[in-house]
Amino acid sequence: MKRIATLTEAEELLHAIKLQIKKHGLLFMNQRVKNAQTLADLGILEATQREIIENLKAEDYYKGPDPDEKYPWKIVAVFGVEYVGVELYIKFSLGVTGTPVVCLSFHEAGSPMRYQFK
């Protein structure tokens, strides 16, 4: 899988994610313990999650695309952003065309994230 080497490539990846969300929807895995805890701690509702994702920029790119560990026909990509002083780790899984994007992770980063374009 081709690694992201330029800001333009990060923009193209983010554009593809946002376009797939717009066309086919976005599913959140908010029941996962880490996600649920962060959402509760920060008082984030799904509408705010969607707003944060809509406002992601290419500079927020962290890593990917990589093969999804559980579903090899999917790819995962990670972005990060600061929200009320907390760094959020946001991981997307994209499958075949015509399927929703799955937000696998939306939680406080476990360690400082190193951004390639910030």
φ and ψ at 88, to 5 degrees?
-100, 140
The residue ranges of the chain whose pLDDT is under 70 are 1-2
What is the Cα 85 distance to its own chain's centre? 18
Q: What is the pLDDT of residue 113?
A: 96
The pLDDT tens digits of the residues spanning 13-43 come to 999 999 999 999 999 999 999 999 999 999 9
Amino acid type, 79: F
Amino acid type, 89: Y
Q: What is the pLDDT of residue 6?
A: 95
Q: Residue 96 contacts by C-beta under 8 Å, 6 or more apart in sequence? A: 73, 74
Tell me how far CA of residue 54 lies from CA of 3, 17, 62, 72, in angstroms.
23, 10, 16, 26
Q: What is the pLDDT of residue 96?
A: 78
Q: Which structural domains are found in the chain, ordered by start? A: 7-108 (3.30.2310.40)
